[in-house]
C-alpha cells in the first residue's frame, strides 16, 4: 500500500526523533553505569539538549500540517493496520507534546530537579518538613501539567498523567481492580503468613560469593533466558535497570558478596525487560507503533520472567544445582524447596522495593490513592505523612516508624512523576494473566522451565506481546493475548496457588 | 564588556553545537570500548543524526546574519581578544560548513564508508587492485571537496583540506620543515644505527604480565602524570585513543599479556591528549575559542608526555622500579639503561604506527607528498603503489615487500582523510620545541621527572598551551610559548642528544 507523502515525511521525522532518543538512552545508561562523577554536569546539558531537539521535532509546525494531510489521505484503515495505528500514535504524541506551554516544561524540569536533590537529604534524615516546600511546588506544577494535558487529550487530569506512562489506562480501569485486590489481600495475607509460619525456616546460602562468580552466573542465566549478548551488555550500577535500545540493550545489576540473590534476581528481572525490547517488531523500528506498549506492559515482561517463570517450582528445580555449581558449599540451601521458601516469603514490610509479590500491590494501591488526591487537590502536601501512615495501616495493618520508611521512600513524586505507580501492579497482574494464557497455549512450558529452558514461554511472548509493539493498547493487547482485558483473577489465583496451596 | 545580541545568540548556538558534539563523542567512545557488535548499525544512524543536527545548526540562515551583525558591532578587538578570536573561529567554522554542497557531503559519507570496508579486505589480502576503484571514487570526491573549500577559505585546494585538521597551516609551512628533516635524517639515521649496534642488546622483561596488573599500573601511571579520574576513565579498545569531553575524558588501551610496553606507552600517550582536554579554558567551554588548537597541537601534547617526558632518562630512572614492583621477576630488564635501549631503538620498518620517533617523520613525509599529488591530480590512484615504494626507498633505503606493508597500511585515505598526516610530525616537532622552552623556563623540570613528577611540566603546559585553547593559531601558539614559529631544530637536537649523544 502506498502511503501519502505527508505520512512518509512523518515516518522520517519520527525515525529521527527516535534516533535522538536512542542517543539519549545510551547517554543515560552511561551516566548510571560508566560516567565518572565529574562528567555529571556536562551530561545533564547533553541530555537536555537532546530532549530539546527531539521535542522541537515533535512540535514543529510542519507536523500538524502533515498529520492533518496524512489523516485526510488515509485509505481504509483495515488495509494497513500498522500504518493506521502508527498515525494515531503520532497524533497522540504530538498532542501531548504540544499541550504543555514551554514555560511550564522548563519550570517542571527546574523544580523537579531541585526537589529531588532536597529529597535525598530529607530521606536520609527522615525529615519530611525539609522537602515539604519543594514538594508543594512540584505538586502545584503537576496540577498545572494535568490541567493543560486534560482538555487536549479529552481525559480527566489524573488520567492525563497516567496516560503518559501507560497510554489509554485511567483511574476507572484501575480502581475496581485494586479494590478487588484489597479484598483478596485482607483474606490471603493472614492465611499466607499462617502457612509460612508452619513451614521450616529457610536456610540462607553461606557466602562470601565473589563478584566475578556472580557476574559470570548472571550473564549465563540471562543468556539462558534468551538474551543474545551480541545485542546486549550486562554492567553494574547503583540501581539495577534496563536501558539502551532495541538492538543494543544494556542491563545492569549490583553485587553484594554476602548475598547473591539480589544480583541474580535483578538480572532475571531486567532480562525480562530486555527481551521485550529485543522482540519488538523490527519492521517498525523507530516508529511509535514499533515501541513497547507502555510501562505496565514493560513491567509485565520483567515480572513474567522474574516472578512467574524464574520463581516457579519448575525453574527453581533447575536453578538450584546451577547456583550450587557456581558457588559450592553446602547443598541444602540450594534445594529447590529451600530456595522457594527463601525467595517466596510474604512480609508486612514498609519498603515497596523490598516487598514480596503479595504485599507489593498494597504499596501501589496506597500511592495510587494518595497521588490522585494530591493531583486533585483533595490532599495537601502538609497532610501527606499522616495520610500515608493511615493508609498503610489500613492496608497492611502496621504503621511506618518514620517518614523515611513512609512517604519519603520513593523518588517518584519528588521528581514530578505522578501516575506512574499503578504500572507496577498492572504489570504484575498482566504477567500472571499472560502466564496463564501461555500455559494454556503451550503445553510443555513448565516442563521446559524445569530444564532451564524459557524458549517456549519466550516464543509465545514474542508472538503475543513483543512482536505486537504498540499496535494495540494495553487492554486490547491483553484481550488479544489472553481473551480478556485486565483481570486480577489470574494474579490472585497465582498467589493462592503459590502461597496458600 | 557587553557583547552584541547577535554575538550572544551565536555563543548560545555554538554551545548547543558543542553539546551535540559531546554527545556524539561519548557515543563514539562507547562504540569503540563498550558497544556489542549488534549495536553497530543503530549507532551509525545515531551518529549520523547528531552530525546532521550539528551541521544544520551551523549552516542555518540565521548564522550568516548573526555573524555579519556581530562583526559589524565588534568594538576594539583588543578589548576582549577571546571574544574577537571566538567570532573569527565561528566565521571560519560557518564558512567551512557552508562551502560544501549537501550532495557532496552525502556522497563522501557513503563512498568513504564503502571504500573503508573494502580496504579492510584489501589490506588483509595485500591486494591493492581490490580497493583501487573505490579509492578512485574517494579521491575524485576529495578533489571536489578541496575545490569547493578552496575559494571559500581563500586557500589552495590541498591547504583547504589541511586546514580542516590544523587550521592555518598549509603545505608552504610544512614543505621546508620536512625538507630540512629529510636532510637531517639522511645523516642521523645511519649514525644512530651505528651507535645502536655498538650498545649491548636490550633485554626484554619476561612475562606473562597479567592484564589486571597492567591495568592497575596504567591507571596509577596516568594519575601520576596528572589525570584526575573523577573526570576520566581508562578502558580497553582495539586501538588506543582518547575521547569523551573536557570534563569526562575517556582514554583506552589494549593489553598483551606477553608484553606490557604497548599498553603502558599507549596510556602515557593518551594521557597527554587527555591532559590537554582537561586543561582547556573552562571559561570558554563549548565555544570554538575554548577548543584544543588543532590536531598538530593535540599530537604535540600526547608526544610531549610520551616521547619527551616519559622516555627521558630522568623518568625511566623512576619508572623502572615502578614497573618491577608491579610485575616482579628479574631486576635487570627494568634497569633504566635497558628500558632506554628497549624503548628508544631506531629501525627502518615499513609500518608507520610501529615506527620510532626518528624514522616516523619519513613515513609522514612520504604520505604528505603523495597526498598532495593525489589531490592535485598529479598522481593517478593506479600509480600509487609504485610511487609509494619509490618514495619509501628514497627516504629510508628499503622497499616494502607488499602493499599491505606499503600504501594499504593506513585507513586514512581510504576513509577520505587527506591533509591529516602532516599533523603527526608537526606535533612531534612542536613537542620537542615546547619541551626545550619548558626546560628553559622551569629549571627543576627534569629533576621532578626523575621523581615521577610531571607536575612542573604540566604546570607550564597548562599556562602556555592548554589554557590558551584556540585563542592562537598553531604558529602563534608556538611563538607565544617558545619565542619562534615551528622550527625543526629543537626536534633534531632532541634526536641528536638521544640517539647520537
Q: How many CB pairs (< 8 A) connect A and B?
A: 94
> Which residues from A are below 8 Å from B53, CB to CB?
20, 53
Q: Do A16 and B46 touch (CB under 8 A)?
A: no
Q: Do A39 and B229 touch (CB under 8 A)?
A: no
A289 touches chain B (CB under 8 A): no
Q: Is B193 tagged catalytic?
A: no
pLDDT of residue B462: 98
Interhelix angle for B384-396 vs B360-376, to 10°?
A: 150
Q: Do B49 and A231 touch (CB under 8 A)?
A: no
> Which residues from A are below 8 Å from B231, CB to CB?
36, 38-39
* Closest C-alpha to B421, from B295, B304, B269, B300: B295
Q: Do A232 and B36 touch (CB under 8 A)?
A: yes
Work out the percent of chain A whose per-residue pLDDT is above 90. 97
pLDDT of residue A74: 75
Range A286-313 burial, b when 16+ CB lie within 10 A, else e? bbbbbbbbbbbbbbbbbbbbbbbbbbbe
* Closest C-alpha to A169, from A183, A179, A158: A158
CA distance B232 to chain A (A): 6
CA distance A233 to chain B (A): 7
112-131 in B: which are within 8 Å (CB) of A?
none
Alpha-carbon span A434 to A440, nearest angstrom: 10
Mean pLDDT for A100-113 is 92
User: What rounded mean pLDDT belongs to chain B?
Assistant: 96
The pLDDT tens digits of the residues spanning A263-321 come to 999 999 999 999 999 999 999 999 999 999 999 999 999 999 999 999 999 999 999 99
B30 touches chain A (CB under 8 A): yes
Query: CA nearest B21 in A: which residue?
Result: A46
pLDDT of residue B408: 98
Grid cell, residue B435, equals: 619541551
Alpha-carbon span B430 to B485, nearest angstrom: 9
Q: Do A49 and B19 touch (CB under 8 A)?
A: yes
pLDDT class for A501, splitting at 50, 70, 90? confident
pLDDT class for A56, splitting at 50, 70, 90? very high
B39 touches chain A (CB under 8 A): yes
Interhelix angle for B5-33 vs B40-59, to 10°?
A: 170
Alpha-carbon span A468 to B279, nearest angstrom: 51
Grid cell, residue B472, equals: 592562537
Does the pLDDT at position A483 exceed 70?
Answer: yes
> Which residues from A are below 8 Å from B30, CB to CB?
26, 30
Q: Find cell 556489542 and name the residue.
A: B36
Q: Do B231 and A20 touch (CB under 8 A)?
A: no
The pLDDT tens digits of the residues spanning B357-403 come to 999 999 999 999 999 999 999 999 999 999 999 999 999 999 999 99
Instruction: Name which residue leads in pLDDT, A1 or B228.
Output: B228
Mean pLDDT for A377-401 is 98
A140 touches chain B (CB under 8 A): no
pLDDT class for A79, splitting at 50, 70, 90? confident
* Interface test with chain A among B38, B52, B277, B287, by most A beta carbons within 10 Å: B38
DSSP for B393-446 reads HHHHS---SSGGGTTTS-STGGGT--S-THHHHHHHHHHHHHHHHHHHH-TTHH
Does the pLDDT at position A457 exceed 90?
Answer: yes
292-331 in B: which are within 8 Å (CB) of A?
none
* Interface test with chain B among A42, A244, A277, A286, by most B beta carbons within 10 Å: A42
B23 touches chain A (CB under 8 A): yes
- Using DSSP, state whether A380 is helix, strand or coil: coil
> Which residues from A are below 8 Å from B39, CB to CB?
231, 244-245, 247-248
pLDDT of residue A78: 65
pLDDT of residue B78: 65
pTM, two decimal places: 0.95
pLDDT class for A212, splitting at 50, 70, 90? very high
Cβ(B10)–Cβ(A30) below 8 Å: no
What ipTM describes this predicted complex? Answer: 0.94
Grid cell, residue B15, equals: 554551545
Catalytic residues of A: 270
Q: Do B16 and A247 touch (CB under 8 A)?
A: no
* Interface test with chain A among B36, B44, B252, by most A beta carbons within 10 Å: B36
Q: Provide the β-strand partners of residue A252.
A: A235
User: Which of A22, A49, A232 is closest, CB to CB, to B42?
Assistant: A22
Query: CA nearest A57 in B: which residue?
Result: B53
Grid cell, residue B457, equals: 611540566
> Which residues from B are below 8 Å from A228, CB to CB?
38
Alpha-carbon span B384 to A434, nearest angstrom: 65
Q: Do A34 and B233 touch (CB under 8 A)?
A: yes
A23 touches chain B (CB under 8 A): yes
pLDDT of residue B74: 75
Q: Residue A155: which H helix or E strand, with range? A: none
A247 touches chain B (CB under 8 A): yes
Ranges of chain B whose pLDDT falls below 70: 1-2, 75-78
User: What rounded mean pLDDT belongs to chain A?
Assistant: 96
Alpha-carbon span A269 to A143, nearest angstrom: 33
A45 touches chain B (CB under 8 A): yes
Q: Do A231 and B38 touch (CB under 8 A)?
A: yes
Q: Do B49 and A228 touch (CB under 8 A)?
A: no
Q: Do B248 and A35 touch (CB under 8 A)?
A: yes
The Cβ of residue A351 has, within 10 Å, a number of other Cβ atoms equal to 13
Active-site position among B22, B111, B270, B357 = B270
Cβ(A448)–Cβ(A456) below 8 Å: yes
A60 touches chain B (CB under 8 A): no
Amino acid at each position: 500500500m502506498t502511503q501519502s507523502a505527508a505520512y512518509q515525511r512523518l515516518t522520517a521525522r519520527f525515525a529521527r526523533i527516535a534516533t535522538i532518543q536512542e542517543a539519549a538512552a545510551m547517554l543515560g545508561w552511561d551516566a548510571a553505569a560508566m560516567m565518572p562523577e565529574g562528567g555529571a554536569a556536562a551530561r545533564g546539558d547533553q541530555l537536555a539538549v537532546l530532549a530539546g531537539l527531539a521535542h522541537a521535532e515533535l512540535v514543529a509546525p510542519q507536523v500538524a500540517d502533515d498529520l492533518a494531510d496524512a489523516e485526510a489521505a488515509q485509505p481504509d484503515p483495515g488495509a494497513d493496520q500498522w500504518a493506521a495505528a502508527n498515525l494515531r500514535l503520532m497524533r497522540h504524541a504530538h498532542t501531548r507534546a504540544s499541550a504543555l506551554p514551554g514555560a511550564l516544561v522548563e519550570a517542571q524540569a527546574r523544580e523537579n530537579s531541585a526537589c529531588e536533590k532536597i529529597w535525598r537529604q530529607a530521606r536520609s534524615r527522615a525529615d519530611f518538613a525539609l522537602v515539604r516546600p519543594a514538594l508543594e511546588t512540584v505538586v502545584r506544577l503537576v496540577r498545572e501539567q494535568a490541567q493543560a494535558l486534560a482538555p487536549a487529550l479529552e481525559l480527566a487530569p489524573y488520567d492525563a498523567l497516567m496516560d503518559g506512562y501507560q497510554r489509554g489506562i485511567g483511574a476507572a480501569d484501575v480502581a475496581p481492580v485494586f479494590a478487588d485486590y484489597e479484598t483478596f489481600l485482607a483474606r490471603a495475607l493472614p492465611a499466607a503468613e499462617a502457612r509460612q509460619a508452619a513451614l521450616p525456616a529457610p536456610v540462607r546460602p553461606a557466602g562470601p560469593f565473589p563478584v566475578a562468580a556472580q557476574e559470570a552466573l548472571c550473564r549465563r542465566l540471562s543468556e539462558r533466558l534468551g538474551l543474545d549478548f551480541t545485542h546486549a551488555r550486562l554492567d553494574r550500577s547503583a540501581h539495577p535497570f534496563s536501558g539502551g535500545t532495541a538492538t543494543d540493550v544494556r542491563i545492569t545489576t549490583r553485587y553484594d558478596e554476602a548475598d547473591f540473590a539480589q544480583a541474580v534476581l535483578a538480572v532475571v528481572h531486567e532480562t525480562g525487560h530486555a527481551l521485550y525490547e529485543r522482540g519488538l517488531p523490527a519492521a517498525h523500528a523507530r516508529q511509535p507503533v514499533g515501541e513497547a506498549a507502555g510501562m505496565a506492559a514493560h513491567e509485565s515482561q520483567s515480572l513474567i520472567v522474574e516472578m512467574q517463570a524464574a520463581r516457579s517450582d519448575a525453574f527453581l528445580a533447575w536453578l538450584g544445582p546451577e547456583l550450587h555449581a557456581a558457588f559450592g558449599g553446602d547443598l541444602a540451601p540450594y534445594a529447590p524447596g529451600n530456595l522457594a521458601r527463601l525467595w517466596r516469603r510474604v512480609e508486612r514490610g514498609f519498603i515497596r522495593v523490598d516487598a514480596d509479590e503479595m504485599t507489593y500491590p498494597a504499596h501501589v494501591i496506597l500511592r495510587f490513592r494518595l497521588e490522585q488526591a494530591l493531583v486533585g487537590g483533595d490532599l495537601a502536601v502538609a497532610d501527606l505523612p499522616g495520610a500515608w501512615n493511615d493508609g498503610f495501616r489500613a492496608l497492611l495493618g502496621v504503621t511506618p516508624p518514620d517518614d523515611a520508611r513512609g512517604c519519603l521512600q520513593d523518588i517518584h513524586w519528588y521528581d514530578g512523576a505522578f501516575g506512574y505507580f499503578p504500572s507496577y501492579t498492572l504489570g504484575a497482574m498482566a504477567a500472571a494473566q499472560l502466564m496463564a494464557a501461555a500455559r494454556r497455549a503451550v503445553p510443555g512450558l513448565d516442563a521446559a522451565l524445569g530444564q532451564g529452558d524459557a524458549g517456549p514461554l519466550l516464543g509465545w511472548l514474542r508472538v503475543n506481546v513483543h512482536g505486537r509493539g504498540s499496535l494495540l493498547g494495553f487492554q486490547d493487547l491483553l484481550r488479544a493475548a489472553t481473551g480478556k482485558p485486565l483481570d486480577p483473577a489470574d494474579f490472585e489465583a497465582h498467589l493462592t496457588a503459590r502461597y496458600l496451596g
